[in-house]
Structure formats: structure tokens, C-alpha cells
Amino acid sequence: MTAFGRLARARPKGYQAGRAAAPSGWAAGGDREPMIDVRAMCAIGQRGQLGLHGRLPWEGNTDPLYVEDVTRFFAVTQGHVLIAGPKTIEAVPDFAYRDRTIAIIRSHEDPRAVLARYPGRRVYVGGGIAVWNVYAPFIQQWDITRLPYDGEADRWFDPAWLVGRGRD
């Protein structure tokens, strides 16, 4: 099994991922930065597939496993904050705005400033790759679902994100 396979295999029900260390002073409750619970939640294919032509590779699949994953995403993020780039936010259905705070983030914004808008809140950082490359050092918990998809992709999950490393 590859290192990626060990990192991203499907998690059993009720599994709580470990927390990676936040950047110095960020979530430690120090004077300089507010304590914010920053998480990411995503689904990947069997080989780490994440995207295809700007969408989820399995988008529109009505198999119960895929539907359950989307349902779980909205249940888990309910009552919390969801931040993501414009493309991801554009795909969020209208009903989701009723019971969570949803905000578009832009590449020119400082992640610390964005996260500081939500002191004391749980913030979910929506993908994709460009967003996670910037926000990975701040994400304390990853919730990854491995779906049975094993088809084409042009975007892949980067295991380096799990240890707080993005790409410059």
C-alpha cells in the first residue's frame, strides 16, 4: 500500500482525525491570534482523485454512497462557517445558506485575516487545490471520505496538506 493509501483510506464511522499543529500562536489561544477551530472536509476517489474539468469527478452520481457523502457534508457543516473560493461557493445549494455562514474567499486575502473574522467558530475550508494550498497550515482536522470512484481526474488530493504543507 502506498503512503497515500495509508493516509487517505476511508475512515470508520465515528472516527476522529488527529489534529495537526497550527501555525505558531494561531490556535494556541495566545494573545496574538483568536482561537478558531479550522477544519476541512472532502471526498476523494480510490486513487486520490479530487477534480475533473473544474467539478467533482463523480458529480451527479446517484449511487447511495455518493448521495450519503453529500448529505453528511451538509449535516456536519450545519451551524458552522464554510469558506471557499467562488467556484465552490457557486455550487452550494440555496438551502445551505439557511443554517450556516457561507463566505467567498479570494486569493489576495490573508488567511489569518479571513479566519479572524470568525472568532470562537468552527470554520470549514472548502476546496479545492488552490484554497487548500494556502489554508493547509491552518487546518487542524481533515475529514476525508474515500469514495469508490476509480475513473478519470485532472486534480488530485495532496497528502502534504495533512501535515500543514501547501504549495507556494
pLDDT of residue 166: 72
* Cα 31 to Cα 46: distance, rounded to the nearest angstrom: 43
pLDDT of residue 122: 98
The values of phi and psi at residue 146, to 5°, are -100, 115
- What pTM was computed for the model? 0.79
54: left (phi over 0), alpha (psi -120 to 50) or beta: left
CATH of 30-160 among 3.40.430.10, 3.30.470.30, 3.40.720.10, 3.40.50.1220: 3.40.430.10
* Cα 70 to Cα 64: distance, rounded to the nearest angstrom: 10
pLDDT of residue 64: 97
pLDDT of residue 34: 60
For residue 56, what is its C-alpha cell? 467533482
Domain ranges in the chain? 30-160
The residue ranges of DSSP E strands in the chain, in sequence order, are: 37-44, 49-51, 81-84, 101-104, 122-125, 141-146, 155-156
Going residue by residue through the chain (168 aa), what tens digit of pLDDT does each one get?
333 333 333 433 333 333 344 444 454 444 555 679 999 999 999 999 999 999 999 999 999 999 999 999 999 999 999 999 999 999 999 999 999 999 999 988 999 999 999 999 999 999 889 999 999 999 999 999 999 999 999 999 999 999 988 765
pLDDT of residue 90: 93
Inter-CA distances, 138 with 28, 110, 116, 133, Å: 12, 12, 12, 10
* Cα 101 to Cα 125: distance, rounded to the nearest angstrom: 12
